[in-house]
Structure formats: C-alpha cells, structure tokens
Structure 1
Amino acid sequence: MRVLWVLAHPEPRSLTARLRDEGVRALRGAGHEVVESDLYAMGWNPVVTAADFGDAVGDGDRLDVAGASERALRGGTLAPDIRAEHDKLAQADTVVVQFPLWWHGTPAILKGWLDRVLVQGYAYNVRDQAGRTRRYGDGGLAGRRALAVVTVGAGTGLGPRGLHGDLAEVLFPLLHGTFWYTGMQVAEPVLVPGASRLDDAGFAAAADDLRRRLLALPDGPFVPYRPQDGGDYDGRGELCDAVAPGGRGLGVHRRA
C-alpha cells in the first residue's frame, strides 16, 4: 500500500500520536510506503480564504468558493500548501485520517484540511462521459480506500441506545458524506473508547488492534454503503420503495 496518514492532534506525546507511531511503524515494517501530514506540526491553516485561489478571484469579486477553487485547480493557482497535499494524495492508494473525537466531530484543523484540500473538480463535482455527477461510491478520489482512526474519551454509552450515540452515526458525515461521497472505499473505523483513562495494558491492546487492522486493510472490512448509481436510489436521490421498505435513519444507506 501507499498510505497518506493525516494526523490531527496538538500534542506529540498524546495517545493519538503514540498510536500513529505504532501504526506507521507496522506499515513500514511490512514494506508499505507511508507519507504523513501531521497538521499541527505543519502549522496547517484550516481557514478557506480567497488567497487559496490566487488570481482565480479578481479584486472586488464576490467569493464563490466552489467555483473559484475549481478555476484555481484548472489554472494551477491553488495555494502551494493545497497543491502539496494533492501531490501526496496522487501517490496514495490509502488515506488514514486520525483524530480525537471533539464535540462529536473532528478537530477544526482537520475539518479545515478537508475544506481546503478536497476542492471542486478534484474531489467532488466531477462528471462522467455522460455528464452525470460522480459521487457516493464514485468521484474524484475513486480507487482509494479510507480509514478513520478515532480516539474517544467516553468508554461507555457508545451504541444504538447509548447516551453518547452510535459512533457509526456520529461519524456518518465523515465516512459517508466525505469519504464515500468522493468515491473512496470506506473501511470500518478503528475506534479507541475510554482513551482518557487508558492504562498500559489498554494501550497495548489498542495498538495491537490498530496494527492488525492496518495490515489487513486491503481486504477490509469495509462499510457496505449503497452506491448512488447501484440501483437503490431513484432520480431524486431517494431510496426506491422496494429497498429497505419502511426503513428510516442513517442505517438505511448501508446494505445488509
């Protein structure tokens, strides 16, 4: 595998960073290539501004982020830090995104990486030869697989009836709305609950699980999301009546 590992944690001695070190070491030891984007160490700027797009935005023009980003992509005027991440993605067949769950979402720096890097015409709003928009199982990042590695402070109450919610649904915006939307095959996430209270034995078990999942990653397990063009959805983007009849909620977008 050729892996891009994106890390979002401000403390290099954190549990998150230590698990990253274990994972990268295991991958390289097995002969896989790993390139890293340690966002805090890089001083990554998470804020989208007109400066991202160079002369694709004229003085006094209203900023249309999607349109300007695609014009800058086509014209080669995207900011250098964005182009550098595109170069990393171009070489990767696997993307590992690692972060602590903060307020039921990603840290702002990681959200800003997604906002600035996955621009229109590159990761989304790409079209096939018939002019149809490629998304949800196809798209600009098709041919890659994606794995989220997530540390969670809570150790209990994480399930369909849990107080903190079902993590499969909490992570739906990232797994389905970002990875799957842009065409990447979505691996079942690696979750480390109770991270703030993990002892040495717990860390060893979490590291072993991460190594096992990484080295088995070409074979999954993968989330069985329904592709947009697989026949399960009608022309309005609604599930066909015969698919999961009576079903509601985010789970209906997974095939059994």
Structure 2
Amino acid sequence: MADKKVLIVYAHQEPRSFNGSLKTTAVEELSRQGCAVTVSDLYAMGFEPRTMRQDIVGDLSNPKHFNYGVEVYEAFKKRSLTSDILAEQKKVQEADLVIFQFPLYWMSTPAILKGWMDRVLCQGFAFRFPDFYYDTGYFKDKLALLSLTTGGTAEMYSKSGDMGDIRYYLWPLQHGILRFCGFKVLAPQISFAPEFVSQEERKLMVASWAQRLKNIWEEEPIDCSPACYFDQ
C-alpha cells in the first residue's frame, strides 16, 4: 500500500480527546502500511466554514444577484477560488481514501466540517449536475469513510431506541454528499458513548479501529441506495 494516499478530515477542538486518539491511531496504522497520510485538522487550521462572496477571487459572473453555487462553479473553472479551498481540493484530488473523523453534533457533523463540505465539494470539482454525480461522480475511483463518536449508547441509536436508527442520520452524509460525488462509501466506524464507558472499553474501541484499518483496502463499499437506510 506504499502508493496509497489518505486524507483525514478531522473535526475536534481537543487533540487529547477520544476523537483525537482515533485520528492518531489512523495516522499511525496507515503510515505503518506505507500510505502517505495527510490530516486536515479543521479547528487547528481555523478553517472558515461559511460560504461567502469572499470565496471567489476577482469579479463575479453576475454581480447584480449573488448565487453562491453558480459563482463558485464559475470560479472553479477559472481557478479563482480562495487558496484555502484550492488547498483542500488538491488534498481530496490526490487521495485514494478520505476519512472523516468527528463527534456527532445534533444528529449531524460539527458546523466546521459541514462548512468544509459546503465549500470544498463544489460543482465542477466534486460533481457536475446533471451529467456527473452518483455512479458517474468525479470521485468514483475514491473511497470515503465516516468515523464518528456519539454521546449516547448503541441501544439509544437503534430503531426502538430514544434517538432512532443511526442509519437515518448517516443518510444525508453517506448518500446525499459522499455517494452523490461518486465516492465508494465504506461502512461507518461508530464509537458509541466513549465518555460513558470504562477506560478499558475505550482502549478496545481504539484497538478495533486499528484492526479494521489493517484490512481497509480489502473492504467492499456498502449499499447507499435508499432501501439500505429505510426499508430494513
């Protein structure tokens, strides 16, 4: 795997957090395999999550009526997006596997990570509607994986639990964003309630993640069709 490149998009404020441990474990294990690993530590970078006029360098295509989606598409074609967006796009373009490491916030990602997706995965770069999306998406030769932590237990995130089936939460991320851009999506790595288990159980979670990564390149993508999430 010496020729494989991995991007870890990491969204947690505290390096010593459990999310930080999972990120470090991924870096160590994948590097041990000979992979080239890059980490985008969004909080440490001070990554701007807001989609703004300032994302476009130079003149707008329609200065009278600002349409962010249209303008960033035109700016991408002219290479006139801001340097922080272009830098992240270069990392994605070079990666064979993109891992998103984050805590679940209000049934979704932290705002800083959602902002990364909003700004980086723009039309022209990640997809082009209506010709290149889902099976024909630009990232059809890349793998993507969500590694996330929750505040509640696995039972809480079951169909009969208080929070409902966690697959419903992952639908917009795995199907609506990653698969839409063409990624082959691997099964999520979910670490349930690390704050409320013993130190030994946390070590086992980290060890399980490390063990999975040893064989990550042999995994098959999951089914991201609507039936996978809602008809079971």
Common fold: TM-score over 0.5? yes
Higher helix share: 2
Give % identity: 32
Q: Is the 8 A contact 1:23 1:207 kept in 2?
A: no
Instruction: Give the distance between the partners of 2:175 and 2:168, measured in 1 at CA.
Output: 10
What secondary structure, in the 3-state scheme, does the structure 2 residue paired with 1:54 have? coil
Instruction: Name the residue aligned to 2:217.
Output: 218
Report how many residues are paired.
228
Deviations 1:66-112 (A, max 9, x none): 11111111111100000000111121010000100010000000000
Instruction: Give the distance between the partners of 2:45 and 2:60, measured in 1 at CA.
Output: 26
Residue identity matched to 1:119? C
Instruction: Name the residue aligned to 1:91.
Output: 94
Q: Is the 8 A contact 2:133 2:181 kept in 1?
A: yes
Instruction: Name the residue aligned to 1:23.
Output: 26
Unaligned regions of 5+ residues in structure 1, if any? 127-131, 227-238, 240-246
Instruction: Name the residue aligned to 2:41.
Output: 38
Q: Is the 8 A contact 2:127 2:133 kept in 1?
A: yes
Instruction: Give the distance between the partners of 2:87 and 2:61, measured in 1 at CA.
Output: 24
Q: Which one of the candidate residues 55, 58, 65 is aligned to 2:58? A: 55
Unaligned regions of 5+ residues in structure 2, if any? none
Q: Is the 8 A contact 1:56 1:77 kept in 2?
A: no
Residue identity matched to 1:31? G
Q: Which one of the candidate residues 74, 84, 91 is aligned to 1:81? A: 84
Instruction: Name the residue aligned to 1:233.
Output: none
Q: Which one of the candidate residues 7, 10, 35 is aligned to 2:10? A: 7
Residue identity matched to 1:175? Q
User: What is the TM-score when the length of structure 1 is the normalising length?
Assistant: 0.84
| CA RMSD of superposed structures (Å) | 1.9
Larger radius of gyration: 1
Instruction: Give the distance between the partners of 1:56 and 1:36, measured in 2 at CA.
Output: 32
Instruction: Name the residue aligned to 1:174.
Output: 173
Q: Is the 8 A contact 2:189 2:209 kept in 1?
A: yes
Question: Which runs of 4 or more aligned residues in structure 1 lie more than 3 Å from their structure 2 counterparts after TM superposition?
Answer: none
Shift of 1:251: 2.8
Deviations 1:32-69 (A, max 9, x none): 11001000000000001011012242684311111111
- Structure with more contact order per residue of length (Cα contacts < 8 Å, sep ≥ 6): 2
Is 1:251 matched with 2:218?
no
What secondary structure, in the 3-state scheme, does the structure 2 residue paired with 1:137 have? helix
User: What is the TM-score when the length of structure 2 is the normalising length?
Assistant: 0.92
